[in-house]
Amino acid sequence: CRETAFIYAITSAAVTHSIARACSEGTIQSCSCDYTHHSRAPSTVRDWEWGGCSDNIGYGFKFSREFVDTGERGRNFREKMNLHNNEAGRA
């Protein structure tokens, strides 16, 4: 039903967003973000402070696919539909 499709999509989107945000905040060690920054700005810009990395959507997408899609093999119509809705949420 439509409500179930929405729940699958929004759950997948939430996991993707949450992991991507946590990655940018530096709370996930396995994240592929670059936690260091070597500024090449002129020495006159001393009040600028690097705040981390941008949201790593690719990592969030991959994590969501591995976590949310677990158990859905696409062997029957319902599993294929669930995988489709999960993918729609990540898009």
Contact present, 23 and 31 (Cβ < 8 Å):
yes
Q: What are the residue boundaries of the structural domains of the chain, listed by start?
A: 2-28+53-90
The band of 1, judged by pLDDT with boundaries at 50, 70 and 90, is: confident
| Average pLDDT of the residues in 63-90 | 94
Per residue in 7-60, pLDDT (tens digit) is 999 999 999 999 998 988 878 888 866 544 445 555 556 676 666 567 788 889
| Average pLDDT of the residues in 69-86 | 94
Give the contacts of 32 (CB within 8 A, at least 6 positions apart).
23, 56, 58, 59
* Separation between Cα atoms, residue 79 and residue 77, nearest integer Å: 6
This prediction has a pTM of: 0.74
Is residue 3 predicted with pLDDT exceeding 90? yes
